[in-house]
Amino acid sequence: MMTTPFSLRLAAVRELLPSREVDAVLISGPENRRYLSGFTADDPEWGVLLVTAEAALLLTDFRYQTWAQQEVRDFEVLIYKIDLGETLAELLKRLGVRRLGFEAGYLTYRQYQRLTRTAVKAGLTLAWEPLEGLVEGLRENKTGAELAVMRRALTLTETVMRQVAGELTPGLTEAEVAWEIEKRLRQGGAEGLAFPSIVAAGPNSARPHHHPGDYVIQAGEPIIIDMGARIDGYCADMTRTFIIGPPDEHFRKIYSLVRRAQARAEAGLKAGLDSLAGDQLAREVIAAGGYGEAFGHSLGHGVGLAVHEAPALSPSEARRTTLAAGAVVTVEPGIYLTGWGGVRLEDMILLHPEGAEVLNQPGYFYEWSEEGL
Ligand code: ZN
Ligand code: ZN
């Protein structure tokens, strides 16, 4: 049998089943389904994967039949006629599955109720085991092919960021800039946006996840642009902060502090490091500058098929992890001051055992922001 990335991933997930004490797993997370099967349909409703030690099945309906059969090699494509639950129950019976793992973060309560009821009706004695992070853990370590696609997505994102930054003028609205970003990413070869672009100007830039609206951009106010292209399913995620005209002392001070925090994190992050310690690298700089309370979100997050994926680079104990080699994470410290605005700078880095490789091209649009680094 030919080895494909998907056959390797399938083997890896099978290897994990005994440790989770299940003899089969149902995969319904959109990125996880794609990662394992290679089926590129991203409609959340197309169906599920079922993996046992011997079998690998992709269960979908007529609408996706031809497409799945054309794209998927390592899973048997099974078309259910009326009800996924009935087909699945028959299959589980035939395969002798007794302990079925499912993705707790993705199977909705309603789906769970329907599937478990159908299984009972079919006379199955089945233990349903909620699992977390099974495929997400495999997705952390990017292959060379995945990295190549992500680098393309980031390069396009940077190109459009530079173009749009050069054209920022007073009088444009946030929404107009966001539309310009979307058009250019698509024209440049993106299949779509990795996430809805954030263009936040003036006081709106104090809202980390602001939705661009009809606010008119003015000179002398911070403008945060957070954007990313999606190519072949993979995301880029990058933020820069701009100002039209000469920045005042306050902006320079805040900007330099955020940039120093980012530079310290980028110099100190590496595979094998504890995620809480990683988050602290930047947080300590901002706290020492007197703005600890104004940096209210995580330092970063993994990026890949999902724009937010494992590992989290966060102060949260619940999400604590050891940073894996081959993971791509963002480094995005920010300071947000209600009434004034904010500054956020976000790069993507690749974690190696010996350190972090910044995937972004150098360039912050402000030479003075590199002073004293
Ligand atoms: Zn971002
Ligand atoms: Zn991000």
Q: Measured in angstroms, how far is the CA atom of residue 369 from the centroid of ligand 2?
A: 21
Nearest-CA neighbor of 239 among 248, 226, 221, 250?
Answer: 226
Q: Give pLDDT, residue 372.
A: 64
Q: Measured in angstroms, how far is the CA atom of residue 330 from the centroid of ligand 2?
A: 6
Q: Give pLDDT, residue 197.
A: 98
Distance of alpha carbon 156 from alpha carbon 237, whole angstroms:
11
Q: Which residues of the chain have pLDDT under 70?
A: 1, 371-373
Q: Which residue's entry shows tokens 């079998």?
A: 55
Q: Measured in angstroms, how far is the CA atom of residue 238 from the centroid of ligand 1?
A: 5
Distance of alpha carbon 123 from alpha carbon 100, whole angstroms:
15
Domains of the chain by residue range: 5-138, 141-370
Q: Give pLDDT, residue 316.
A: 95
Neighbours of 55 (CB within 10 A): 14
> Which ligand sits nearest to residue 298's alpha carbon?
2
Q: Measured in angstroms, how far is the CA atom of residue 308 from the centroid of ligand 1?
A: 9
Residues with a beta carbon under 5 angstroms from ion ligand 1: 226, 237, 239, 346
The H or E element that residue 60 is part of is: strand 56-60
> Which ligand sits nearest to residue 349's alpha carbon?
2
Both tokens of residue 261?
């925090």
> Which ligand sits nearest to residue 195's alpha carbon?
1
Q: Measured in angstroms, how far is the CA atom of residue 32 from the centroid of ligand 1?
A: 22
Q: Give pLDDT, residue 27.
A: 98
Q: Which residue's entry shows tokens 């990683």?
A: 278
Length of the chain: 373
Task: Tell me the H-state helices in 172-317.
Answer: 174-187, 249-268, 275-288
Q: Give pLDDT, residue 1.
A: 57
* CATH 3.40.350.10 fits domain 5-138: yes
Per CATH, 5-138 and 141-370 having the same topology is answered no
> Which ligand sits nearest to residue 239's alpha carbon?
1
- Phi and psi angles of residue 157, each rounded to the nearest 5 degrees, phi first: -60, -45
Distance of alpha carbon 191 from alpha carbon 195, whole angstroms:
12
> Which ligand sits nearest to residue 329's alpha carbon?
2
Question: Which residues, in sequence order, are bridge partners of residue 242?
Answer: 223
Distance of alpha carbon 331 from alpha carbon 68, whole angstroms:
36
- Phi and psi angles of residue 130, each rounded to the nearest 5 degrees, phi first: -70, 130
Q: Give pLDDT, residue 26.
A: 98
> Which ligand sits nearest to residue 308's alpha carbon?
2
Q: Give pLDDT, residue 275.
A: 98
- The CATH code that applies to domain 141-370 is 3.90.230.10
> Which ligand sits nearest to residue 226's alpha carbon?
1
Distance of alpha carbon 173 from alpha carbon 30, whole angstroms:
34
